[in-house]
Amino acid sequence: MIIQRQKRQKQLQNNLYKFLLIYFILFLALLNTSLLKAQKKCWYQPDKMGFIYGYGNQGGLFLDDKDYSYTSNIIKLQLFYPLRQGAFNLDLVFEPTLGFSKHQLLNFYFIQPSEPDYLAKRAEFTKSKRITEYILNTNLQLSHKITKAINAYIFVGLGPMIISKRTERLAKGFAFADNIGLGFTSKITTILNFDIRASLRHLSNAELKHPNSGINIATLELGMNLKL
């Protein structure tokens, strides 16, 4: 059991290194494209583009549900479209997101004997399960410059998602991902910014399927964005 757990941890670590490598390769390609670009932007071209990596945990911040554990590694592509410029800037941000998560039911009494096949469900969900999330979030982001090089911002958004496996809290398939958070960007160059943010994510299916108890995750995210 210990050897299997170590192998899984090693595999997860290797996958994480691969994701980070892909992240930086994509960002370098984006930087090269931006520097070579000299044409005017069309309406459908974003003002900025970014990449973000984040780690989330159900037990983070004030989220500490003893019934289950849920951790998540997420990778985001960001496309920024300015809506308002001034003392406060408002952007529409599209965030295609890929999440690699791990779930386990900790309190098997969460599944009541009144549920069909409750013993089989308890056996299934109390085992650790790896889940993939495919999300297309749309955020409104309000930012304000607090120093010459640092901006503070808040954001709120939602979007459709596909979750690859069922849990006792959320059915497999179509659902929604809501998020709210705050962050800071720091200017590295005239076109390149470092981004750090904290957010709360809520996954649910709006009662379209059963179950729908929802999953809550506190996430810390790091990334960079580039003015195009």
Q: Which residues pair with 68 in a beta bridge?
A: 105
Pick the CATH number of 44-227 from 1.10.357.10, 2.30.30.90, 3.10.100.10, 2.40.160.20: 2.40.160.20
Render pLDDT for 165-221 as a digit per residue (tens, 0 to 9): 999 999 999 999 999 999 999 999 999 999 999 999 999 988 888 888 889 999 999
pLDDT, position 59: 73
Question: How many Å separate Cα 83 from the centre of its chain?
Answer: 23
Give every CB contact of residue 64 below 8 A, 6+ residues apart in sequence.
Answer: 58
Domain ranges of the chain: 44-227
Q: Which residues pair with 163 in a beta bridge?
A: 133, 173
The structure tokens listed for 102 are 């791990």
**For residue 30, pLDDT beyond 60:** no
pLDDT, position 45: 79
Say how far apart CA 154 and CA 151 lie, in whole Å.
10
Say how far apart CA 10 and CA 2 lie, in whole Å.
12
Say how far apart CA 49 and CA 228 lie, in whole Å.
7
The predicted model scores a pTM of: 0.78
